[in-house]
A = this chain, B = another copy of it.
């Protein structure tokens, strides 16, 4: 059983964050809220999302799984104006989600979740932690975009750097410690990542959000940030490209 009402903006944020990696996702419902784990088809990146019932205007849930076509949900959310509340109700008999926005009633068939297992999120210890605004992160990515398909994230005790190296050109975007909201690094770390994945993840994060980044040496990067005004939390994990 699932019945809830929630601001359209919260649902849009969820769709943005998850659709970066997958087209369809399995949302796990229980009495306390919603959670989701998904891995992209190439097994390069993962997303883990949790949303407590505090994120909702109204919330009633019993343990169940809902398979959602994210593109379809995105289309439906375009019917909502700023500030609109969306009512959601699971029709178990027809395996449909009933979505109400103003005078519109939309019935969306759910996706079969039988083949969707929850990926195991590895528990990785990463030596460097920093906090950066989504705007700064996206600016560093934009600087790299015409230079290479990869981006190196580098941190030392006193700076964080995003850099790319092409055949003839290169670019560095270096922020000294005082320009970051936090930087804890016991020495230099450096990992290389596919720029398209990293860029899509960063773009999915709303502008003035603060992002916590954990980084290691030739290790995955972990991005963590809040959604729904703090009632939700997202973790992205992205595998490094190990340089030969």
Interface residues of A (CB under 8 A from B): 72, 75-76, 78-79, 96, 103-109, 139-140, 142-143, 146-147, 168-175, 179
Contacts and interface: CB of A to CB of B under 8 A. Distances in A.
Contact of A169 (B106, B143, B169): B106
Nearest to A139: B79
A76 B109 CA distance: 46
12 contacts: A78-B142, A79-B139, A103-B175, A103-B179, A104-B171, A105-B173, A106-B169, A106-B170, A107-B170, A108-B169, A109-B168, A109-B169
Nearest to A170: B107
A38 to B, nearest CB: 22
Contact of A104 (B76, B96, B172): B172
A105 B108 CA distance: 49
A171 B76 CA distance: 10
Contacts of A109: 168-169
Given A104-B171, A105-B174, 17 more contacts: A72-B146, A72-B169, A75-B146, A76-B146, A78-B142, A79-B139, A79-B142, A79-B143, A103-B173, A103-B175, A104-B139, A104-B140, A104-B143, A106-B169, A106-B171, A107-B169, A107-B170
Contacts of A75: 146
A106 B108 CA distance: 48
